């Protein structure tokens, strides 16, 4: 047991820091700060830099493009990217379907899809939730019927509706959970399909969320024809892939490094915000809330480090990752509450209504500008990826045996 | 002791409630929000002419209904139930409230216009550096000229008058040397930057540059005690608005929990959801109790302590009920499509309006827990 970094680790940190400093496309942060719409190329700009360097998927096995970094090095990487406030990479290929494909996919699927995930050539989206299947994901009803085509090959005909499909408006491919055996027990009749989003019969409709963002969509599938070779793993065994993916998603969801960065940002704002003639940071109530957040964040960080150490010693992410999801998202949400509180009166103006296309029209301090929309937006974190209520059920059942 | 409403108060509530249910539907409100003006003049006209509700807290001699703080509470709760954007709070509760305290010729001159809907008042008190402190003022009135910058003034874009706090003497945060002015909104030297707030009402940054202010515009020359009284009344009214917002959030969420089925049953059948709805219910009930308590103490020596207790409790309730209404709804709760998200936005803004939970707990400590 040792909390210190080795000389090699420190050298690694220097290397990483220098790389980010020299190669990160800093214009992205400017755009985000101004509340400008991010184009697809903007989301991919940092992705492409990392792909070129060979650092796009540190956690993958080296044979598929991973860096072979130790858990400590991966931790240093996440700390440094957060400290530099780099944009979040889209997780759908890199940390969701990618691991499913290299774990359960055929050699042909691996050869076809993995390189294009690494390069960013394919943008992926996730077709899991349905209007009637949210927390109860396994009750999904999107139907895939198998048939033999005129060309003698095997196909599925897919019909149904998915929802909360993040960034589907940009997607080239989607991974979908579909029901292939309606007579089986609900978790046993599901298959995991990779679907080209340009296939006829797919309609993507935007859902606008409270901060005014277009992040999520409804995806309608009407007689969408999918070759059987695009199914990952066995027919009717898709739930195995689904569970594997959700556990992977949960660990990334803790967001420790980003939350650390946000604590620093709030402290910085609170030092500059006046509160009755003193800095808000000197307000004992506000300071106590920051202290409590730092304590809870340290508890999350060291719990995640213990989990990561367990993973690199061979245990995959298990139901413990639900703890990281719950505590991580609670902290992310508390940070947005505190930022809104710090903004005070200036939390109220809606930045997108301040003059058409006039981004110079700032009201109040820059730091206050998007606090309310971000607060509203981050309510999603305790709902998505399996709501925090469902995560508690998982811990109760799988960890505590209740 | 009596917590019952009079027959007149109940009639006022029923009349307003019916009108809002019929005409101020969610779709109608969304149209106003997307219109970008932050209010609907036709609604204001109906408040004045059809319902007479703008006269609720004013004396019959002025053409009002002869009510007071309880009538404001009744009206504001209904405003909250329909998340009304129009400026009852700033015009009637704050502007009208200040005039009632001041009395005399100016009250006689201005109040009838408020009741008729032709006079609308915006409250230009808070400043960029001042956070929630009414005494923290850099706006000055010197030699008859007003100069300064007021932050997030709701309803300024469609106001006929501005109710302005300004420093005539003393240091930036002194209690003395603060005047309260009522000036025409179109006076020379006033400029505005208008925008919408996150819940869709209109607000402005208001700048004064050598605005000429005559003695007839000064409501009170040593006004901080008066300003605090008016803002306490406004805070109690906002607590009442919050009660309306939170009641709808709870009722909508309860209904959804009974309808929404997952794992083969209504999610309201799960104990974790039941307990959440019970906790929300308890927060709403306590918010209602504290709002009544504070409203009934507005004319007593306990006014400030009572209002700060109420706002601290209501602020916490607004956060808890708002967040959990969204959580129980799931993803649909954070879309623009459903009303619940829009009630959540209003509840969120109310948390910081006239001071955060921390601000009011500190104020209460200062009044009631002196060592």
Domains of chain B are 7-119 (1.10.540.10), 122-222 (2.40.110.10), 225-368 (1.20.140.10)
Residues 6+ apart with CB under 8 A from B77: B13, B240, B241, B243, B244, B247
- Residue B335 per-residue DSSP state: B
Instruction: Tell me whether B271 touches chain A (CB under 8 Å).
Output: no
Start-end of CATH 2.40.110.10 domains in chain A:
124-236
Task: Show residues of chain B in contact with A218, CB under 8 Å.
Answer: none
- Residue B157 per-residue DSSP state: G
Query: Chain B residue closest to A131 (CA)?
Result: B332
Q: Which residue has the higher pLDDT, B63 or A82?
A: B63
Minimum mean pLDDT range among A14-18, A366-370, B5-9: A366-370
What is the pLDDT averaged over residues B250-264?
97
CB count in 10 Å sphere of residue B286: 15
CA distances (Å), A166 to each of A124, A351, B276, in order? 9, 23, 28
> SS3 of B340, please?
helix
Task: Show residues of chain A in contact with B345, CB under 8 Å.
Answer: 210, 372, 376
Report the C-alpha gap between B257 and B274 in whole angstroms. Answer: 9
Chain A from 230 to 269: CB within 8 A of any B CB: none
Task: Show residues of chain B in contact with A276, CB under 8 Å.
Answer: 131, 133, 136, 173
What is the pLDDT averaged over residues A304-328?
77
> SS3 of B286, please?
helix
Confidence bin at A366 (pLDDT 50/70/90): confident
CB-side neighbour CA atoms (13 Å) of B281: 9
The two beta strands, B161-167 and B190-196, are: unpaired
Confidence bin at A203 (pLDDT 50/70/90): very high
What is the pLDDT averaged over residues B48-71?
97
Beta carbons of B152 and A364 less than 8 Å apart:
yes
User: CA angle at residue B33 from B27 to B35, to 5 degrees?
Assistant: 105
Residue A44 predicted with pLDDT over 60: yes
Residue B1 is predicted with a pLDDT of: 81
Instruction: Catalogue the active-site residues of A.
Output: 249
Residue B249 predicted with pLDDT over 60: yes
Residue A40 is predicted with a pLDDT of: 87
Residue A265 is predicted with a pLDDT of: 93
Minimum mean pLDDT range among A368-382, B83-97, B172-186, B293-307: A368-382
Length of chain B as a residue count:
371
CA distance B126 to chain A (A): 8
Count of CB contacts below 8 A, A vs B? Answer: 138
Chain A from 354 to 383: CB within 8 A of any B CB: 354-355, 361, 363-364, 372-373, 375-377, 379-380, 382-383
Task: Show residues of chain A in contact with B203, CB under 8 Å.
Answer: 348-349
Chain A from 111 to 170: CB within 8 A of any B CB: 129, 132-136, 139, 163-164
Task: Measure CB to CB from residue B197 to each of A134, A136, A348 and give the nearest one.
Answer: A348
Beta carbons of A379 and B193 less than 8 Å apart:
no
Percent residues over pLDDT 90 in chain A:
74
> SS3 of B153, please?
strand
Q: Are B193 and A346 in contact (CB under 8 A)?
A: no
First CA to last CA distance, chain A: 32
A302-312 burial: b if 16+ Cβ within 10 Å, else e: ebbeebbeebe
The two beta strands, B140-142 and B145-154, are: antiparallel
Distance of CA B316 to the CA centre of its chain: 17
Q: Are B334 and B293 in contact (CB under 8 A)?
A: no
A193: which strand partners? A176, A231
Q: Are B39 and B86 in contact (CB under 8 A)?
A: yes
A214: which strand partners? A208
Task: Show residues of chain A in contact with B124, CB under 8 Å.
Answer: none
Residue A320 predicted with pLDDT over 80: no
Residue A355 is predicted with a pLDDT of: 57
What is the pLDDT averaged over residues A129-150?
96
- Residue B131 per-residue DSSP state: T
Report the C-alpha gap between B242 and B289 in whole angstroms. Answer: 12
CA distances (Å), B310 to each of A173, A400, B84, in order? 53, 41, 22
Confidence bin at B181 (pLDDT 50/70/90): very high
Residue A359 predicted with pLDDT over 70: no
Q: Over the stretch A49-73, which tens digit does the pLDDT of each residue have?
A: 999 999 999 989 999 999 999 888 9
SS3 assignment for chain A = CCCCCCHHHHHHHHHHHHHHHHHCCCHHHHHHHCCCCCCHHHHHHHHHHHHHHCCCCCCCCHHHCCCCCCHHHHHHHHHHHHHCCCCCCCHHHHHHHHHHHHHHCCHHHHHHHHHHHHHCCCCEEEECCECCECCCHHHCCCEEEEEECCCCCEEEEEEEEECCCCCHHHCCEEEEEEECCCCCCHHHCEEEEEEECCCCCEEEEEEEECCCCEEEEEEEEEEEEEEHHHEECCCCEHHHHHHHHHHHHHHHCCCHHHHHHHHHHHHHHHHHCEECCEEHHHCHHHHHHHHHHHHHHHHHHHHHHHHHHHHHCCCCCCCCHHHHHHHHHHHHHHHHHHHHHHHHHHHCECHHHCCCCCCCCCCCCHHHCCHHHHHHHHHHHHCCCCCHHHHHHHHHHHHCCC
Beta carbons of A207 and B337 less than 8 Å apart:
yes
Q: Are B162 and B126 in contact (CB under 8 A)?
A: no
CA distances (Å), B364 to each of A338, B189, B297, B317, B356, in order? 21, 39, 15, 18, 12
CATH fold for the domain made of A124-236: Butyryl-CoA Dehydrogenase, subunit A; domain 2 (2.40.110)
> SS3 of B43, please?
helix
Report the C-alpha gap between B197 and B179 in whole angstroms. Answer: 28
B146: left (phi over 0), alpha (psi -120 to 50) or beta: beta
CA distances (Å), A123 to each of A47, A89, A174, A380, A384, in order? 11, 11, 8, 22, 20
Report the C-alpha gap between A280 and A288 in whole angstroms. Answer: 12
Complex confidence, ipTM: 0.95
Q: Over the stretch B362-371, which tens digit does the pLDDT of each residue have?
A: 999 999 998 7
Confidence bin at A361 (pLDDT 50/70/90): low
Residue A88 is predicted with a pLDDT of: 87
Query: Chain A residue closest to B351 (CA)?
Result: A341
Residue A30 is predicted with a pLDDT of: 84
CB count in 10 Å sphere of residue A79: 18
Q: Does domain A253-399 have CATH number 1.10.10.10?
A: no
Report the C-alpha gap between B293 and B286 in whole angstroms. Answer: 10
Query: Chain A residue closest to B195 (CA)?
Result: A354
Is the pTM above the cut of 0.90?
yes
Interface test with A, best of B193, B334, B354, B359 (most A CBs within 10 A): B334
Q: Which residue has the higher pLDDT, B295 or A73?
A: B295
Residue B54 predicted with pLDDT over 70: yes
Residue B30 predicted with pLDDT over 90: yes
Beta carbons of A285 and B151 less than 8 Å apart:
no
Q: Over the stretch B209-225, which tens digit does the pLDDT of each residue have?
A: 999 999 999 999 999 99
- Work out whether the CA dihedral A48, A50, A52, A57 comes out positive or negative: negative
Report the C-alpha gap between A58 and A81 in whole angstroms. Answer: 13
Residue A357 predicted with pLDDT over 60: no
What is the pLDDT averaged over residues A229-240?
97
The two beta strands, A274-275 and B140-142, are: unpaired
Mean pLDDT (chain B, rounded): 97
Interface test with B, best of A283, A383, A386, A396 (most B CBs within 10 A): A383
Q: Angle at which helices B224-259 and B69-81 pack, to 10 degrees?
A: 40
Confidence bin at A250 (pLDDT 50/70/90): low
Which residue intervals of chain B are DSSP H helices? 7-23, 26-35, 41-46, 69-81, 88, 97-102, 104-116, 224-259, 271-296, 303-329, 339-352, 357-368
Chain B from 321 to 350: CB within 8 A of any A CB: 323, 326-327, 330-331, 333-337, 341, 344-345, 348-349
Residue A252 is predicted with a pLDDT of: 67
Percent residues over pLDDT 70 in chain A:
94
Residue A124 is predicted with a pLDDT of: 98
Task: Show residues of chain A in contact with B272, CB under 8 Å.
Answer: 389, 392
Task: Measure CB to CB from residue A208 to each of B172, B173, B335 and give the nearest one.
Answer: B335
What is the pLDDT averaged over residues A204-232?
96
Beta carbons of A346 and B341 less than 8 Å apart:
no
- Work out whether the CA dihedral B77, B79, B85, B91 comes out positive or negative: negative
Cα-Cα-Cα-Cα torsion B352, B354, B356, B360, nearest 10 degrees, comes to -160
Task: Show residues of chain B in contact with A371, CB under 8 Å.
Answer: none
Beta carbons of A380 and B334 less than 8 Å apart:
yes
Start-end of CATH 1.20.140.10 domains in chain A:
253-399
Residue B343 predicted with pLDDT over 70: yes
Task: Measure CB to CB from residue B327 to each of A350, A353, A383 and give the nearest one.
Answer: A383
Residue A131 predicted with pLDDT over 60: yes
User: CA angle at residue B88 from B1 to B70, to 5 degrees?
Assistant: 5
Mean pLDDT (chain A, rounded): 91
Confidence bin at A316 (pLDDT 50/70/90): low
Task: Show residues of chain B in contact with A392, CB under 8 Å.
Answer: 272
Q: Over the stretch B104-140, which tens digit does the pLDDT of each residue have?
A: 999 999 999 999 999 999 999 999 999 999 999 999 9
Q: Over the stretch A156-184, which tens digit does the pLDDT of each residue have?
A: 999 999 999 999 999 999 999 999 999 99
Report the C-alpha gap between B130 and B34 in whole angstroms. Answer: 31
Beta carbons of B152 and A379 less than 8 Å apart:
no
């Amino acid at each position: 047991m040792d909390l210190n970094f080795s000389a090699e680790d420190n050298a690694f940190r220097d290397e990483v820091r220098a790389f980010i400093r020299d190669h990160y496309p800093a214009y992205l942060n400017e755009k985000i700060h101004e509340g400008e719409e991010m184009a697809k190329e903007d989301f991919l700009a940092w992705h492409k830099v990392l792909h070129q360097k060979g650092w796009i998927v540190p956690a993958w096995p080296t044979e598929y493009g991973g860096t072979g970094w130790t858990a400590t090095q991966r931790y240093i990487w996440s700390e440094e990217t957060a400290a530099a406030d780099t944009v979040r990479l889209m997780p759908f290929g890199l940390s969701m379907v990618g691991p499913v494909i290299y774990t359960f996919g055929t050699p042909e699927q691996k050869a076809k899809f993995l390189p294009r995930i690494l390069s960013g050539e394919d943008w992926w989206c996730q077709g899991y939730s349905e209007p009637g299947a949210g927390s109860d994901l396994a009750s999904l009803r999107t139907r895939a019927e198998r048939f033999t085509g005129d060309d003698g090959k095997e196909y599925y005909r897919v019909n149904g509706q998915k929802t909360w499909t993040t960034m589907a408006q940009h997607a080239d491919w989607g991974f979908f959970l579909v029901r292939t055996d309606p007579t089986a027990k609900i978790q046993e009749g599901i298959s995991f399909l990779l679907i080209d989003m340009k296939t006829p019969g797919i309609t993507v409709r935007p859902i606008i969320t409270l901060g005014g963002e277009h992040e999520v969509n409804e995806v309608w599938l009407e007689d969408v024809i999918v070759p059987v070779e695009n199914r990952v793993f066995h027919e009717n065994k898709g739930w195995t892939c689904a569970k594997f993916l959700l556990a992977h998603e949960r660990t990334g969801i803790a967001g420790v490094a980003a939350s650390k960065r946000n604590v620093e940002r709030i402290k910085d704002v609170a030092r500059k915000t006046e509160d009755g003639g003193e800095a808000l940071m000197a307000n004992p109530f506000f300071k106590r809330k920051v202290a409590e957040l730092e304590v809870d964040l340290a508890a999350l960080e060291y719990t995640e480090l213990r989990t990561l150490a367990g993973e690199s010693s061979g245990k995959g992410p298990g139901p413990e990752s639900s703890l990281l999801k719950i505590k991580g998202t609670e902290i992310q949400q508390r940070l947005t509450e505190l930022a809104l509180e710090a903004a005070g009166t200036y939390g109220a103006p809606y930045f997108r209504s301040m003059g058409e296309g006039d981004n110079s029209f700032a009201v109040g301090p820059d730091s206050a500008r998007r606090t309310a929309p971000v607060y509203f937006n981050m309510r999603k974190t305790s709902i998505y990826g399996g709501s925090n209520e469902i995560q508690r059920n998982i811990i109760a059942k799988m960890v505590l045996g209740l | 002791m009596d917590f019952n409403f009079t027959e007149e108060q109940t009639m006022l509530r029923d009349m307003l409630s019916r009108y809002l249910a019929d005409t101020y539907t969610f779709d109608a409100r969304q149209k106003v929000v997307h219109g970008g003006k932050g209010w609907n003049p036709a609604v204001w006209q109906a408040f004045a002419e059809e319902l007479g509700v703008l006269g609720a807290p004013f004396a019959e001699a002025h053409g009002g209904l002869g009510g007071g703080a309880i009538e404001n509470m009744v009206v504001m709760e209904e405003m909250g139930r329909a998340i009304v954007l129009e400026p009852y709070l700033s015009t009637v509760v704050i502007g009208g409230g200040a005039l009632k305290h001041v009395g005399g010729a100016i009250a006689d001159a201005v109040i009838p216009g408020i009741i008729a809907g032709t006079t609308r008042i915006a409250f230009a008190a808070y400043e960029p550096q001042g956070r929630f402190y009414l005494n923290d003022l850099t706006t000055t009135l010197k030699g008859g000229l007003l100069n300064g910058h007021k932050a997030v003034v709701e309803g300024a874009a469609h106001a006929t008058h501005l109710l302005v706090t300004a420093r005539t003497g003393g240091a930036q945060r002194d209690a003395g040397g603060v005047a309260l002015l009522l000036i025409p909104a179109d006076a020379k030297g006033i400029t505005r930057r208008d925008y919408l707030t996150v819940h869709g009402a209109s607000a402005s940054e208001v700048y004064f540059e050598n605005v000429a202010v005559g003695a007839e515009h000064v409501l009170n020359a040593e006004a901080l005690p008066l300003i605090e009284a008016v803002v306490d009344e406004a805070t109690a009214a906002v607590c009442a608005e919050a009660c309306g917002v939170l009641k709808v959030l709870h009722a909508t969420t309860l209904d959804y929990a009974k309808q929404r089925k997952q794992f083969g049953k209504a999610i309201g059948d799960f104990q974790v959801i039941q307990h959440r709805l019970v906790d929300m219910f308890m927060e709403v009930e306590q918010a209602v109790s504290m709002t009544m308590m504070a409203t009934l103490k507005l004319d007593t020596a306990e006014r400030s302590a009572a209002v700060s207790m109420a706002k601290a409790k209501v602020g916490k309730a607004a956060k808890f009920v708002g967040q959990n209404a969204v959580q129980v709804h799931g993803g649909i709760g954070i879309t623009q499509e459903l009303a619940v998200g829009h009630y959540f936005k209003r509840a969120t803004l109310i948390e910081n309006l006239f001071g955060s939970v921390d601000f009011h707990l500190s104020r209460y400590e200062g009044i009631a827990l002196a060592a």
